[in-house]
Amino acid sequence: MEHEPGDWIPSKAQQTESIIHSDPEFSLKDNYFMTQNERYEAAVKRKFHLQTIAKRQGWSEGSPELYYSYRTLSGDLAFSIHMVFLKSLKSLGSEEQIAKWAPLCNDFQIIATYAQTELGHGTYLQGLETEATYDAATQEFVVHSPTMTATKWWPGDLGRSATHALVQAQLICSGARQGMHAFIVPIRSLQDHTPLPGVTVGDIGPKMGFHHVDHGFLRLDHVRIPRENMLSRFAQVLPDGTYLKVGSLQINYLSMVVMRVDLLLGEIIPMLQKACVIAIRYSVIRHQSSLRPSGPEVKILDYQTQQHKLLPQLATVYAFHFLASNLLKFFHSSYSAILNRDFSHLPELHALSAGIKAMVSDLCLQGTELCRRACGGHGYSKLSGLPSLVSRVTASCTYEGENTVLYLQTARFLVKNYLQVHGSLGSTSQIFLPKSTAYLTTPYQARCPAQKAADFLHAKLYTAAWAHVAARLIKDSAHHLQTLMQSGADWDEAWNQSTVLHLQAAKAHCYYISVKNFTETLDKLENEPAIQQVLKRLCDLYALHSILTNSGDFLHDGFLSGTQVDAVRTAYLNLLLLIRKDAILLTDAFDFMDHCLNSALGCYDGNVYERLFHWAQRSPTNTQGNPAYEKYIKPLLQSWRSKL
Q: Look up residue 323 and give its amino acid.
A: L
The contacts of residue 499 (CB under 8 Å, 6+ apart) are 408, 411
Spatial distance between the Cα atoms of 438 and 465, rounded to a whole number of angstroms: 15
Q: Residue 133 is inside which H or E element, if any?
A: strand 131-135
Crossing angle between the packed helical segments 346-374 and 403-422, to the nearest 10 degrees: 140
Sign of the four-CA dihedral 419, 421, 426, 427: positive
DSSP type of residue 631: I
CA 21 from centre of chain = 26
**Closest to 134 (Cα-Cα) out of 244, 249, 241:** 241
Residue type present at position 128: L
Give 292-354 as a 3 state SS string. Answer: CCCCCEEEHHHCHHHHHHHHHHHHHHHHHHHHHHHHHHHHHHHHHHHHCCCCCCHHHHHHHHH
State the Cα–Cα distance between residues 430 and 422, nearest whole angstrom. 9
d(CA 56, CA 70): 17
- Find the catalytic residue in 17, 267, 369, 400: 400
Report whether 143 contacts 131 (CB < 8 A).
yes
Catalytic annotation present for 400: yes
Query: Could you tell me if 15 and 366 are in contact, meaning their C-beta atoms sit under 8 angstroms apart?
Result: no
Please identify every residue annotated as catalytic: 400
